[in-house]
Structure 1
Amino acid sequence: MTKNLLSSAVFAGLIAGLIAALLQFVFVIPLLLEGELYESGTRVHFLVDGMTQSEKGTPGLGGEWSRHAMTVAFNVVTYTGYGLLLVAAMGFARDRTGLAVSAKNGLIWGLCGFIAVQLAPAAGLPPELPGTPAAELAPRQVWWIATILATAAGLALIAFGRGLPAHAAGLALILIPHLVGAPHLDTYFGIAPPELSAEFATISMGVAIVGWCLLGYFAGFFLQRGDN
């Protein structure tokens, strides 16, 4: 049983991590590299005589292969870690509730993982380009971790709780971090164009949901296959 859980997490994390890294190379990293040009001052975005001064164009991946290798490794390790948590939750739910495990409902587990770990925190602290000024790191980390835990617990209550009180408590847990609010500066000090920042945040979340759905799908697939 433990061997099946571990191998399922590793295989699912490897597949999801590699595909997520590929998507990041194509869609995310070029925007990240362009953001670094604004951070370094190579490109500027401000108003001079009523005209916006900015160079348009997304840089290529270039030859920083060590950095790109780190991106692949980071994705594989991260998604494998997420996979361990996901298959543990799937196995626990199966043993306690008799819920079947399959690739199909693995997609739902992956989607819930995305909501808890990516979407809910991003509602208060969206992905940011390099050099974007932000509030102090420690309060943001506390809010980010609390939001993940509260959202995961809330989703569990909604999915497995019995009766309206449990569902209402789950919804309250999901909403509380956002009612409290994430730490932010009192004003904006963006360096890069807002259009680039918005595109980076949107595409980053799009890649994340694909990665999580793949992780859930393959975690369910390998778990079911190992049980047969």
Structure 2
Amino acid sequence: MTKNLLSSAVFAGLIAGLIAALLQFVFVIPLLLEGELYESGSRLHFHADGTPQSDRGAPGLGGEWGRHLVTIGFNLVTYTGYGLLMVAAMGLARDHRGTAITAQNGIIWGLAGFIAVQLAPAVGLPPELPGTPAAELAPRQVWWIGTILATMVGLALIAFGRGMVMHLLGLIVILAPQLIGAPHLDTFWGVAPPELSAEFVTQSLGFAAVGWVTLGYFCAFFMAQGEDS
């Protein structure tokens, strides 16, 4: 059984990591590289006379293939790690709660992982383009980790808790970090156009959701296949 869980996490993580990396190469990384042009001053949002910059165009992937290989490796390792956590949670739910694990409800597990690890923290600390000013790193990391943990606990209470009280408690736990609020600067300023930042946030979160759904689906799929074999 342990071997089945491990292999399910590895195979699902590799598939989801490759898909996530491909989507990032096509949609997200060009926006990131364009943000770096604004950060370096190679491209300006406004000219010296105050008129808007007229040209627009992502620079493409360029020739930094060593950097891109690191991105692929990071995605593979990250999603495999997430897969290990997910199959462990699936195994606990199956063994102790009698929850059926199928490829179809694996999509729900993937969405729950996306909400906990990506969406909930992004409510307070959305993905940022290079050069975007932000509050000190340590307080943001504490809030980010606390938000992930609180969201995971809250979703578990809603999914597996019995009775309205447990469900309401789960909702309160999820909302608590948002009510506390993420650390932010007192003013807004940056070098990249806000439209580019908004597009970067939207695509980063959207394709992260695809990666998590893929991960949940294949984690459950391989677990079910291992049980049937």
> Is TM > 0.5 for Structure 1 vs Structure 2?
yes
Unaligned 5+ runs, structure 2: none
* 1:109-188 paired onto structure 2 within 5 Å: 109-188=109-188
Task: Give 1:130's aligned amino acid.
Answer: P
Q: In 2, are the aligned partners of 1:43 and 1:54 still within 8 Å (CA)?
A: no
Letter in 2 for 1:36: E
CA separation of 1:54/1:191 partners in 2, compared to 1, >3 Å: closer, same or farther? farther
CA distance in 2, matches of 1:225, 1:172: 37
**How far apart, CA to CA, are the structure 2 residues paired with 1:136 and 1:76?**
29
Q: Deviations over 1:98-154 (max 9, x none)?
A: 111111010000000000000000000000001110000000000000000000000
Deviates more, 1:47-56 or 1:95-104: 47-56
The code of the aligned residue for 2:118 comes to Q
Q: Give the alignment's TM-score, normalised by structure 1.
A: 0.98
Q: 1:43·1:55 contact (CA, 8 Å) conserved in 2?
A: no
Report the equivalent of 2:202: 202
**45-54 vs 146-155, greater mean Cα deviation:** 45-54
Distance in 1, Cα, partners of 2:6 & 2:55: 48
Q: Per-residue deviation at 1:48?
A: 4.5
Answer yes or no: is 1:53 the counterpart of 2:50.
no
Q: 1:62: which partner in 2?
A: 62
Between the aligned partners of 1:49 and 1:25, the Cα distance in structure 2 is: 35
Q: Confirm or deny that 1:81 pairs with 2:81.
A: yes
Paired residue type of 1:150? A
Superposed displacement of residue 54, structure 1: 5.1
Query: Percent identity of the aligned residues?
Result: 75
TM-score, normalised to structure 2, is: 0.98
